[in-house]
Amino acid sequence: MNVIAVANQKGGVGKTTTAINVGTALAATGQRVLIIDLDPQGNASTGLGINRADREKSTYDILLGELPITDAAVSTCVPKLDVVPATADLSGAEIELVEYDERTHRLSRALARCEERWDVVLIDCPPSLGLLTLNAMVAANSLLVPLQCEFFALEGLSQLLGTVERIRDRFNPGLTIIGVALTMYDRRNRLTEQVSNDVRAVLGRVVFDTVIPRNVRLSEAPSHGLPALIYDYRCSGSEAYIALARELIARLPKPAAPSYTKAA
Residue 133 near ligand ADP by CB under 6 A: no
Residue 207's DSSP bridge partners are 180
| Smallest separation, CB 99 to ligand ADP (Å) | 28
CA distance 155 to 145: 14
| Partner touching 142 among Mg ion, ligand ADP, none, CB below 5 to 8 Å by kind | none
Q: Exactly one of 16, 46, 135, 141 binds ligand ADP (CB under 6 A); which one?
A: 16
* β-bridge mates for residue 83, sequence order: 35, 74
CA angle in degrees (0–180, nearest 5) for 29-33-38:
145
Binding residue for ligand ADP, selected from 108, 133, 141, 183, defined by CB under 6 A = 183
| Residues β-bridged to residue 123 | 5, 36
Question: Residues interacting with Mg ion, by CB under 5 A?
Answer: 15-16, 39, 43
The site partner of 80 among Mg ion, ligand ADP, none (C-beta below 5 to 8 Å per kind) is none
CA distance 230 to 65: 34
What's the min distance (Å) between Cβ of 14 and ligand ADP?
4
Residue 222 binds which entry of ligand ADP, Mg ion, none, CB below 5-8 Å type-dependent: ligand ADP
Give the separation between CA 104 and CA 212, rounded to whole angstroms.
32
Task: Evaluate the CA torsion angle 77, 85, 241, 141 in order and state its sign.
Answer: negative
Question: Quick one: CA torsion of 84, 110, 40, 147, rounded to 10 degrees?
Answer: -90
CB of 137 to ligand ADP, least distance (A): 16
Secondary structure of residue 178 in the 3-state scheme: strand
Binding letters toward ligand ADP, positions 71-110, x by CB under 6 A = ----------------------------------------
Report 210-229 residues binding ligand ADP (CB under 6 A).
212, 214-215, 218-219, 222
Quote the CA–CA distance of 226 and 221 in Å, as a whole number: 5
Asked if 55 touches ligand ADP (CB under 6 A), the answer is no
34, 84 in Cβ contact below 8 A?
Answer: yes
Among residue numbers 110 through 129, which ones bind ligand ADP (CB under 6 A)?
127
Residues in contact with ligand ADP by CB under 6 A are: 11-17, 43, 127, 183-184, 212, 214-215, 218-219, 222, 237
